[in-house]
């Protein structure tokens, strides 16, 4: 459950990305006719939106876990009971998913209600809600 809560936090920090493959190829004729019309700046930001840093993940029952998002789409967490875990992050079906090192299955989450200070609510696949808030350091 604590690993689940930590993974929820990570998901909240990550923006959803679409599943379309980016080949990196650009048609010059198309590039000259590109317009910002119809683009939603809040949607589909991609993994570059995952903000490296420290976060507290507070579960619905008040348990606080310490989560660090690292460059390179990796994460590390120390749960309230002192257990440490970590792994990688990827996008799937509009959700951010977390692989925990040594665990076969992954867990996916979506963020809701992001405040100006970066605090947000995140929901796991089972509907569990947690609060994720950025912190400068862990006490």
Q: How far apart are CA 17 and CA 24, in angstroms?
A: 16
Residues 40-97 pLDDT 10s = 444 444 443 457 899 999 999 999 999 999 988 899 999 999 999 999 988 888 788 8
Give the CATH class of 2-18+45-135: alpha beta
The residue extents of the domains of the chain are 2-18+45-135
Across 94-118, b (16+ Cβ under 10 Å) vs e yields: ebbbbbbeeeeeebbbbbeebeeee
In this structure, the number of other CB atoms found within 10 A of the CB of residue 40 comes to 6
Answer yes or no: is pLDDT of 134 > 60. yes
Cβ neighbours of 136 (radius 10 Å): 6
């Amino acid at each position: 459950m604590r690993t689940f809560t930590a993974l929820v936090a990570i998901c909240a920090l990550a923006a959803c990305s679409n599943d379309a493959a980016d080949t990196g190829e650009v048609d010059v004729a198309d590039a000259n006719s590109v317009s910002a019309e119809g683009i939603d700046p809040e949607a589909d930001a991609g993994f570059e939106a995952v903000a490296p840093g420290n976060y507290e993940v507070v579960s619905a029952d008040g348990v606080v876990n310490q989560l660090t998002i690292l460059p390179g789409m990796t994460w590390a967490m120390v749960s309230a009971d002192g257990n440490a875990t970590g792994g990688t992050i990827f996008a799937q079906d509009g959700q951010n998913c977390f692989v925990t090192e040594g665990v076969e299955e992954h867990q996916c989450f979506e963020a809701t209600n992001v405040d100006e200070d970066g605090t947000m609510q995140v929901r796991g696949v089972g509907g569990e809600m947690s609060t994720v808030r950025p912190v400068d350091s862990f006490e």
